[in-house]
Structure 1
Amino acid sequence: MSVNIDEAPIFAPSLPVPNVQEMVKINPSQVPKRYVRNQEEMEKVHYTPHLSSEIPVIDLTLLSNGNMEELRKLEIACREWGFFQIVNHGVDKEILQNMKDAADEFFKLPIEEKEKYAMLSNDVHGYGHAYVVSEEQTLDWTDTLFLLIYPTRFRKLQFWPKTPHGFKEIVDTYSSEVKRVGDELLSSLSVIMGLEKHVLAGLHKEVLQGLRVNYYPPCDTPEQVLGLSPHSDSSTITLLMQDDDVPGLEIRHKGNWVPVTPISDALVVNVGDVIEIWSNGRYKSVEHRAMTNKNKRRTSHATFVFPRDDVEVEPFDHMIDAQNPKMYQKVLYGDYLRQSMKRKMEGKTHTDVAKIKA
């Protein structure tokens, strides 16, 4: 693909589908057939909530100060879990709450108002649904607002809500703070990967950052639907703010589903596909999904940190040896990202394009 690094990227088309929030308003007890999952997908036999307390919790202040114990914890978190929660990250509680309140206010708006920011047919900026690639696809029980935040020259402000008042400033403040946290994490990830602190940030050429706010309406039969299908993220890392009081995020760990119990004011971080490729599979981008709730809506705020389209991604030489032969070929990130976005979310199948065939 030809890459123009001065133009805002177009990511991928997504087919228009009904607004879930409106469907629930009109008929709360009905779940249309297109949303119903087969029993195998919803099977809870491998549900292991007792492992939730084992998901690592990392203190960002200690980590950023080079604390060896915290760096060790980060290494184990990335190697064994692919997920961790961070505390003491320095983002003010008020900033977190303002972002939550602003998103809630947006999703409370009448549908006519929200649709002023509707995604176009060829891209995912704005309000709507991503990853809908066929008419037969089983749909997720969620509505989404996606905004590209950084670099600021790539912002498509026509998709940024003007209501509630101050929305843009609130998103700016929140995203600026999350960017700082992301930068600190990239430095620490560089260190545990045996690199100089600045290397991972430098390899991006320019860090891109997107915000996806997912709104999961209540569902009368939550055992029939998924808020978000199982998938791994095609980012470098993802930083997520979830509601303190409504669980829903689950991660795949050793074949089982483990709920990520919210910790007040913590951010959830997960390894993306880019780190998996750079580390030659030492650190895995882990499958995760979102469940729905019978009585409560849930909102999550996912910030994706990823490279520019023209960045080539492949395993570092020092991650390859006789015991760990090279698992991934060199990929142009823009190609990799679009190939993943043009498919429905289906576990880690999209990573096959980067894998060296046996």
Structure 2
Amino acid sequence: MATTPTLSLGSSIPVPSIKELLAQPLAAVPLRYLRDVDGDFPTAAGDSSVQVPLLDMAKLVEPQYQEIELRKLHDACKNWGIFQLIGHGVPDESQKVMHKKSQEFFELSPEDKKRYAQKPGSLEGYGQAFVISEDQKLEWCDMIFLKAIPTHTRKLEFWPKEQPHNFREALHVYSHDMRKTAVSIIGFITMALGLDSKDFHEAFEGGNYDVRMNCYPPCPEPERVIGISSHADISGITLLTDCGDIPGLQVLKDGRWVFVEPIAHGIVVNIGIIMEVVSNGVYKAPYHRAAVNRHKDRFSIVTFCYPTKKFDIKPAKELINSGSLPLYKSFTNDEYFQSFYERTKLSDDGVPFIDTLKL
């Protein structure tokens, strides 16, 4: 979940970091983190009987494979809304260095991390997102959230400087590598939809890229907490890399939660609500969440990819002109984000954000 430069998002109430809670022996999880057991809670073991689709971008760019691979991409976006991507062109070294710097950040002392803590009126920095009340259930996750692209949107007071060493340089390289991949995969996604990809290429080339680094510390009762609650992303697409081989990301598929098993150097791509609207509902923004582990830390880096502010959020005209009725309203970029952030200030009314966008 990410911000746009022009909106005032209110405050996220400061809460203890999980790392700090665990600094003292913790025999039981504090009540505020415990969730009611509903028979469908995260566990630390994946289900290998169902696999998230795997796409190879190296084949998508090859003319002899492209038609077949575009069909695979279309099926993945339509039936899953999420897929694993290899052959994406992001250098292994770029991922390796950024993963290392992310982990090093969370291993800093509490005092050093608090130098980059969120400030009132901003979600950027170190803390938790969208904590709006003192009795709200909390997630078992520490995070740092940073605007990365365009570079003029960066608030460097939240970017670690001295420690970890070269953190800023690593994130600069990583975010530009991820943008390049996002622009490419958006082009193929729109091709799979039968749309002219030129406008989308330009919209995401000049778009906003926000990065969230997550740390999920070990939990003595992993079956009774949630790392990140079930949600669909408001982005165009979201790119996730796991900083290790510990499964944690789960996606809701046909009413059951499926683990997305980490692939070395792979990128998990999921459709965001913006692309669900653009596709007029052909592609779905999947609900996903994060489980935690009893024994080990899990780290991940999430890049939220948004089109330029000039891009209106509405069903693509080619899909409507072909005879389909529009299923979603049309919004300017600002209207779309304002609608989302206004809802975060309210108590949960049980209505998914995507449903508020429908005609």
The correspondence of residues 56-205 of structure 1 with structure 2, limited to 5 A, is 56-66=53-63, 67-162=66-161, 163-203=163-203
Give, in angstroms, the shift of residue 64 of structure 1. Answer: 2.9
Inter-partner Cα distance in structure 2 for 1:263 and 1:310 = 35
CA distance in 1 between partners of 2:8 and 2:78 (Å): 33
Following superposition, the deviation at residue 134 of structure 1 comes to 2.2
Q: Distance in 1 between matches of 2:46 and 2:257?
A: 6
CA deviations over 1:179-204 (Å, ceiling 9, x no partner): 11111011111211212231213345
Question: CA distance change for structure 1 residues 332 and 12 in 2, over 3 Å: closer, same or farther?
Answer: farther
Q: For the Cα contact (< 8 Å) 1:148–1:210, is it kept in 2?
A: yes
RMSD: 2.4
What letter matches 2:148 in structure 1? Answer: I
Structure 1 residue 318: deviation in Å? Answer: 3.2
Secondary structure of the structure 2 residue equivalent to 1:113 = helix
Do 2:125 and 2:158's aligned partners in 1 also have CA atoms closer than 8 Å? yes
Q: Which amino acid aligns with 1:62?
A: K
Does the 8 Å CA contact 2:184/2:201 hold for their aligned counterparts?
A: no
Give, in whole Å, the separation in 2 of the partners of 1:348 and 1:156. Answer: 33
Distance 1:220 1:211 in 2: 29
Paired letter, 2:137: T
Equivalent residue number for residue 25 of structure 2: 27
Change (3 A) 1:334 1:266: same
**Which residue among 326, 345, 355 is the counterpart of 1:352?**
355
Per-residue Cα deviation, 1:193-242 (whole angstroms, up to 9, x for no partner): 21223121334583100000011111000001000000000000000001
Letter in 2 for 1:49: D
CA contact (8 A) 2:147 2:153 kept: yes
Q: Identify if the C-alpha distance between structure 1 residues 259 and 244 changes in structure 2 by more than 3 Å, giving closer, same or farther.
A: same
Identify unmatched segments of 5+ residues in structure 1. none
Retained in 2: the 8 A contact 1:52–1:260?
no
Check whether the contact 2:273–2:285 (CA below 8 A) recurs between aligned residues. yes
TM-score normalised by structure 1 residue count:
0.90
Distance 1:347 1:272 in 2: 19
Aligned counterparts of 1:258 and 1:86: Cα–Cα separation in 2:
17
Change (3 A) 1:50 1:165: closer
1:232 and 1:347 in contact (8 A); partners too: no
TM-aligned CA distance change 1:92 to 1:240, over 3 Å: same
For normalisation by structure 2, the TM-score amounts to 0.90
Query: How far does the alpha carbon of each residue in 1:77-103 deviate from its partner, in whole angstroms, 9 at most, with x for none?
Result: 100000000111122222111111101
Summarize the Cα distance change of 1:179–1:322 in structure 2 as closer, same or farther, 3 Å threshold: closer
Distance 1:312 1:196, change over 3 A: closer
Q: Relative to structure 1, is the Cα distance of residues 262 and 168 closer, same or farther in structure 2, using a 3 angstrom cutoff?
A: same
Q: Which amino acid aligns with 1:103?
A: S
Unaligned runs of 5+ in 2: none
Q: In terms of mean alpha carbon deviation, does 211-220 or 24-33 score higher?
A: 24-33
For residues 216-269 of structure 1, the C-alpha deviation after alignment (integer angstroms, 9 at most, x for no partner) is 111000001000000000000000001332100000001110000111110000
Alignment of 1:180-259 (within 5 A): 180-203=180-203, 206-259=206-259
Decide which moves more: 288-297 or 123-132.
123-132
Matched with 1:260 is 260
> Aligned pair in 2 of structure 1 residues 309, 317: CA closer, same or farther (>3 Å)?
closer
